[in-house]
Structure 1
Amino acid sequence: MSARRWLYLLHRWAGIALCLVMALWFVSGLVMLYVGYPKLTPAEQLRGLAPLPTQGCCVPLKQALQASGLHEPRQWRLASVAGQPRYFFGDGRKTLVAVDALTGQRISSVSEDEAVAAARHFAAGVDGQSLGPVQEDAWTHSRALDAYRPLHRVAVADAAHNWLYVSAVSGEVVRDASITERTWGWLGAWLHWLYIFRGGALGAWWTDIVIALSLAGCVLGLSGLTVGIWRWRFKGRYKSGSRSPYRAPLARWHHVLGLVGGLLALTWVLSGLLSLNPWRVFEAGGPKLDSRAYAGGLLQAQAGPSAEAVLATLAERGFAARTLEWRRVGGRQYVWAQSPAGGMLLDAQARPLQALDEAALVAAAAPMLPQARIQGREWLRSYDAYYYAREPHTMTGQRERPLPALRLVFDDAQAHWVVLDPASGALLQTSNSRQRLERWLFAFLHSFDLPQLLALRPLWDGWMLGFGLAGLALCLSGVWLGWRRLRMRHG
């Protein structure tokens, strides 16, 4: 049997096995253009919190830290739960401890009634009903929530019919899922990311299953594109008068669609595969950038400023803070205060700052990669191909991308870049050359997310919908042809 014949058979039977999966990926991708996986964005979280009290708050940081029982936590926050101020300490990954900011007592756990009260307050007084605790469910598949688990689910009677997920560890609302997200999500993100395999008996193999199916989809697409080109007569025609050998209209349309959109379909599936960083292809060798070195040391209670001093300063300026976050940048300690209207940075003496200057940011960033030097500086005053914001419902929509921002370029072999926020002192983004390659091979090929293209809506929508529907038509025609082939064999 010739190599071409083997390829024809490979494409035929791979299509029979995979075309339905591919069709479901295209359907779910179209849904995800407008309805994403549930998340609680920073802006939504701020809107749900009560302003911190300007008087009678709070116990000293040193006392709260001692009550937490944690050794050198790297994240310190002050926010409210059900309208009452509460400190939160953790490592930003798997550890989180809450301390009552009025009494200085550590929160050992959050009861179901307390969770309902927290959700009701977050939803501006709307009634809520407990749906019971969960460790993880269809709408909370996220490692970012691990420190907050288990979670209480509370259904609130607001306009969006939200489910609010309340941490049983801290009492915070950490996720909301509207009825739109929960309904369309089954056909969108849950289906697209094959979450049917996540969280159950096959949970440990979820990543491997997605990689295997994506890789098989790439084989299907590449074989189909090759076969389609081989069988198309660029010179001359078949006896039927067509350039395609297929007489049946659906088979002919499948051939034509494959030639016209097969390359796009292949790159779309390939980019989805690369989103999982299979075999760590986007991990660069050599020295790693140490993001913790940017702080220049651990947070220290005696270094200030105290919550009381910060809130007093903010009250004088009419700033109703919803959260305070202690930060260390280049060995100096600050507090970043936030409200729905914006943010304010205060130094260790609780004095407001306009922004950190370029020299201070460069000095703080240099120790992140001590064996290299900073060879370039660029102020970003508008979005570019590597630093840009997406709509909240998208996969990266929760990432804050403020402007202006300072980009620093290191001269190491991996060509590291860092982006810093002068307004808050935050480390906004880090990348190396391979991660920037991933930006093109995954993000661009999967969603054509250049800021210039995103600004051309609804033309961008038309392109994405047209390309998605063409891919869906290609796959559905393959499903029908495969079903007909199976019926012929078993008829």
Structure 2
Amino acid sequence: MGARTKRLVFLVHRWTGIAGCLLMALWFVSGMVMLFVGYPKLTPAERLAPLPALAADCCLAAPPALAEAARAPGAVLALTTLRGEPHYVVRGAPGLPARAARTGDAPPALTPAAAVAAARAFAPGMTAHYAGELQEDRWTHARGLNAHRPLHRVDLAGDAPTTLYVSSVTGEVVMDAPRWQQRWNYAGAWLHWLYLFRMQSVDPVWSWLVIGLSALCTVSALAGMLVGIWRWRFRGRYKSGSRSPYREGWMHWHHVVGLVFGVFVCTWIFSGLMSMNPLGMFGPTHGRPDVAAYQGAGQSPPDALAPAAVLGTLQASGFQAVELQWRWLDGTPYVLAQDARTGTRLVRASASGLRVFQHWDAQTVLDAARRLFAEPVTTHAVLTDHDAYYYARHAEAMNGGLVRGLPALRMDFADPDHTRVYVDLQTGEIATSLAASQRASRWLFYFLHSWDTPQLLAWSTTRDGVILLLSLGGIVVSVSGVVIGWRRLRKQAH
């Protein structure tokens, strides 16, 4: 490599490092916090835990308007408890209000008093105070909340102060943000993701700011690795007796620690850039699975799947359902029941009456799933353990709210995107669909950033300890770079 090229790399590292080292230091510190405290989210376990068991005589049949709306792909008719009373609600169909299950009437517009009542039902025993209506704040950027906006904020006082967000559409709690989690997040996810610059759930300015800064820091880290290798004497030593030419403390430590931890600094900054999906490079390009064809939804569920019959059958089997969801698979209607501990049961009508079972037969799901794409299934397998693309994380992780039940059916399709689909056999739901580019993103982002293979996650204590140690190395590299950059700027100024 020529002297001019090397000089250019030196200059790139020097000036991008001055611009980016403080940001990289903040990223490493906040990343260490995120290892233990995640961004606020309402997990399925948190949502279901406070719900009471549904009584067999609680409800009339669902209103026809809701049953019709639930036929849309991705929409689900659910029977759950809102504000202490059973209600029907259509999930996945924005703008549809809940309906009281005892009367079929639409509840009145959500008032502050009703929002407080919903909060008290969610967290009994705590003092609730209405804190206003809002479209979005620093904890509610998730696009999944768009269907529920505006949101009503309710503050809970007690042993564990918490902020709850209540949907103005359905009246259910859709987000909880404990006060301790909020405080840690200012040094964690909120800082790590630069949410101080994010104004709304879809914010192109924020997205490109993060992409630009991540790219800048990636270039700086790569240039630093090259400079560090060029200046290190693998054979022989400098006159000082050291293999590094730098005698001054900060420069010496920046060089030596940068060589030791530089690979991890590069991969973490680069994977952070990949998390933003720059230029949409990781999305499917030839279409998504045809969920409607997979479901084959009919006109309406049969009378045999009426709530009283379903709940009576479940209770006779010893299962206390807190929520029912009417679903379709290959034109066959069924009910997915969940209890307060996230346990599930499936209920189907048969010639001998209602039948309760724990999971779908894999062949039945495979026959339905062949309709997801025009192209055939090339391989399939039933998973009894998680694999590298279908796995569960602890609740604090970024995707810790995702349910990855087992057994699951994995299918690879011959479509142009070489899509892989996973169906949770406990629910019959398509848990995730990944084009080849999305599977590449899994390694370039999730793996490089979080070391999240099932095998590494099983060694959680060791994994966390190694990540913390490497993060400390990244902090030393970044902070020493900040000091060196500050000194150079002062020198330039004089």
Normalised by the length of structure 2, the TM-score is 0.93
Q: CA deviation at 1:124?
A: 2.4
Q: Tell me, what secondary structure is at the counterpart of 1:367?
A: coil
Pair 1:95–1:304, CA change in 2 (3 A): farther
The verdict on how the C-alpha distance between 1:434 and 1:394 changes in structure 2, with shifts beyond 3 A counting, is: same
1:110: which partner in 2?
Answer: 110
Q: Tell me, what secondary structure is at the counterpart of 1:48?
A: coil
Query: Quick check: 1:296–1:329 contact (8 Å CA) kept in 2?
Result: yes
Tell me by how many angstroms 1:354 deviates.
3.7
Inter-partner Cα distance in structure 2 for 1:69 and 1:366: 25
**Separation in 2, partners of 1:225, 1:72:** 53
CA contact (8 A) 1:299 1:328 kept: no
Partner of 1:290: 290
Q: Distance in 1 between matches of 2:69 and 2:468?
A: 53
- 1:287 is displaced (CA, Å) by 4.8
Deviation at 1:206?
Answer: 0.9
Give, in whole Å, the separation in 2 of the partners of 1:81 and 1:42: 16
1:6, CA displacement in angstroms? 2.3
**What residue is the counterpart of 1:262 in the other structure?**
262
Letter of the aligned partner of 1:6 in structure 2?
L
**Residues 231-275 of structure 1: per-residue CA shift (max 9 Å, x gap):** 112222222222212121110110111111112111111111111
Task: Choose 423-432 or 69-78, whichever is displaced more.
Answer: 69-78
Number of positions where the alignment pairs a residue of Structure 1 with one of Structure 2: 487
Q: Any conservation in 2 of the 1:197–1:203 contact (CA below 8 Å)?
A: no
Structure 1 counterpart of 2:356: 352
Residue 61 of structure 1: SS of its match in structure 2?
coil
Give me the whole-angstrom Cα distance separating, in 1, the residues matched to 2:16 and 2:154: 44
Question: Per-residue displacement from partner, 1:273-296 (whole Å, max 9, x unpaired)?
Answer: 111111122134335432332212
Identify which range, 280-289 or 163-172, moves more after superposition: 280-289
User: What is residue 430 of structure 2 aligned with on the other side?
Assistant: 427
- 1:99-139 superposed Cα distances (whole Å, 9 cap, x missing partner): 11122122352111111111111112322111212211111
Q: Which runs of 5+ in 1 are unaligned?
A: none
Q: Please state how far the C-alpha of 1:425 moved relative to its aligned partner.
A: 1.3
Overall identity of the aligned pairs, in %:
45
For 1:305 and 1:69, the matched residues in 2 are separated by 18
Q: 1:490 aligns with which of 484, 488, 493?
A: 493
The answer on 1:462 being equivalent to 2:465 is yes
Equivalent residue for 1:79? 80
Find out whether 1:450 has 2:439 as its counterpart.
Answer: no
Matched, 1:393 2:434: no
Question: Contact 1:62–1:302 (CA<8 Å) still a contact in 2?
Answer: no
Moved more, 82-91 or 188-197: 82-91
User: C-alpha separation between the residues in 2 aligned to 1:383 and 1:202?
Assistant: 32
2:443 alignment counterpart? 440
SS class of match (1:199): coil
Q: Deviations over 1:380-420 (max 9, x none)?
A: 11122121111001001111111111212223343222112
Evaluate the alpha carbon distance shift between residue 4 and residue 157 of structure 1 in structure 2; reply closer, same or farther with a 3 A threshold. Answer: same
The aligned amino acid for 1:462 is: G
Task: Kindly indicate whether residue 414 of structure 2 is the aligned counterpart of residue 411 of structure 1.
Answer: yes
Partner of 2:180: 180
Structure 1 residues 33 and 352, CA gap change in structure 2 (3 angstroms): same
SS at 2:371's partner residue? helix
Tell me the secondary structure at the aligned position of residue 243 of structure 2: coil
Query: CA 1:13–1:358 in structure 2 vs 1: closer, same or farther (change >3 Å)?
Result: same
CA distance in 1, matches of 2:466, 2:298: 49
Look up the SS of the partner of 2:146 in the other structure: helix
* Deviation at residue 70 of structure 1 after TM alignment: 8.6
Confirm whether residue 25 of structure 1 aligns to residue 38 of structure 2.
no
1:15: which partner in 2?
17
CA contact under 8 A between 2:63 and 2:104: conserved in structure 1? no
Structure 2 counterpart of 1:362: 366
| Secondary structure, counterpart of 1:239 in structure 2 | coil
Q: What's 1:311 paired with?
A: 311
Residue 339 (structure 1) aligns with: 339
TM-score normalised by L of structure 1: 0.94
Q: Paired residue for 1:58?
A: 59
